[in-house]
Chains A and B, each alone.
Chain A
Amino acid sequence: MLGKPVNRREALKRIGLMGAGAVLAGCGLPAYANRGSNGRVVVVGGGFGGATAAKYLKRFQPSLDVTLVEPSRRYYTCPFTNLYLAGLRDFESLGHDYRELEDTYGVRVVHDLAEDVDVDRRRLKLAEGAELSWDRLILSPGIDFRWGALEGYDEAAAEKAPHAWKAGPQTHLLRAQLEEMEDGGNFVLVAPENPFRCPPGPYERVSLVAHYLKHNKPRSKVLLLDAKDNFSKQGLFMEGWAEHYGDMIEWVGLSDDGRVIRVDADRLEVETEFGTIHRASVLNVVPPQKAGAIAQRAGVADESGWVPVEPNTFESSRVPGVYVIGDATEAAPMPKSGFVASNQGKITARAVVADLAGREVPEASWTNTCYSVIAPEWGITVANVFEVHNGDLREVPGSGGVSPSGAAASFRRNEALYAEAWYAGITQDVWGTRPGE
Chain B
Amino acid sequence: MNEAKKETELKPVRAVGARQPRDPGRRRVLRALALGTAAVALSSARVPAYANARGGAWWQRMDAAREHLNGATPREGGIQLDLPGVTQDGSAVPLTVEVESPMDPDDYVEALYLYAAGNPTPEIADIYFTPLAGRARFSTRVRLNRTQAVHALARTSGGEWLAASREVRVTVSGCLSQDGTYDFDSLMRTRVRASERLGAGEIGDIRTLVDHPMETGLREDRDGRTIPERIIHSFQAEFNGEPVLDIRLYRAVSANPYLRFPIAPSESGDAVFRWEDDEGETATESARIEVG
Contact = CB atoms under 8 A, between A and B. Distances in A.
Interface of A: 194-195, 199-200, 228-236, 238, 247, 250-257, 273-278, 302-304, 306, 330, 332-335, 337, 368, 370, 382, 384, 386, 392-395, 400, 402
Interface of B: 14-20, 22-23, 25, 28-29, 31-33, 35-36, 84-89, 91-92, 147, 171-180, 191-193, 207, 209, 211, 255-256, 258
A404 to B, nearest CB: 11
Contacts of A200: 175
B171 A332 contact: yes
* Secondary structure call for the A interface: loop
Contacts of B28: 251-253, 256
B29 A238 contact: yes
A255 B32 contact: yes
Contacts of B92: 228-229, 254
Given A273-B207, A274-B14, A302-B85, A232 B193 contact: no
A39 B147 CA distance: 39
B36 A230 contact: yes
Nearest to A193: B94
Contacts of A386: 174
A382 B207 contact: no
Q: Which of B32, B180, B209 has the most CB of A within 10 A?
A: B32
B174 A334 contact: yes
B209 A333 contact: no
Nearest to B85: A304
20 contacts: A194-B88, A195-B88, A199-B175, A229-B32, A230-B36, A230-B89, A230-B176, A234-B177, A235-B177, A247-B25, A250-B22, A251-B29, A253-B28, A275-B15, A275-B16, A275-B193, A304-B84, A332-B173, A384-B174, A386-B174
A333 B87 CA distance: 10
Contacts of A333: 88, 171-174
B27 to A, nearest CB: 10
Nearest to A247: B25
A142 B87 CA distance: 19
Contacts, number: 128
B211 to A, nearest CB: 7
A234 B33 contact: yes
A335 B174 contact: yes
Contacts of A337: 175
Contacts of B33: 230, 234-235
Q: Which of B31, B174, B179 has the most CB of A within 10 A?
A: B174
A257 B25 contact: no
B31 A395 contact: no
B254 to A, nearest CB: 8
Q: Which 7 A-B pairs have the closest CB atoms?
A: A232-B175, A275-B16, A255-B256, A332-B171, A384-B174, A199-B175, A335-B175
Given A229-B35, A234-B33, A277-B17, A251 B25 contact: yes
A276 B19 CA distance: 5
A5 B22 CA distance: 64
A255 B35 contact: yes
Given A256-B28, A333-B88, A233 B35 contact: no
A233 B178 CA distance: 9
Nearest to B192: A274
Given A229-B32, A255-B32, A332-B88, A382 B209 contact: no
B173 A303 contact: no
A195 B91 CA distance: 15
Contact of A199 (B86, B173, B255): B173
B207 to A, nearest CB: 6
A58 B124 CA distance: 53
A391 B171 CA distance: 13
B142 to A, nearest CB: 13
Nearest to B208: A274
A384 B173 CA distance: 10
Nearest to B141: A254
Contacts of B255: 229, 255
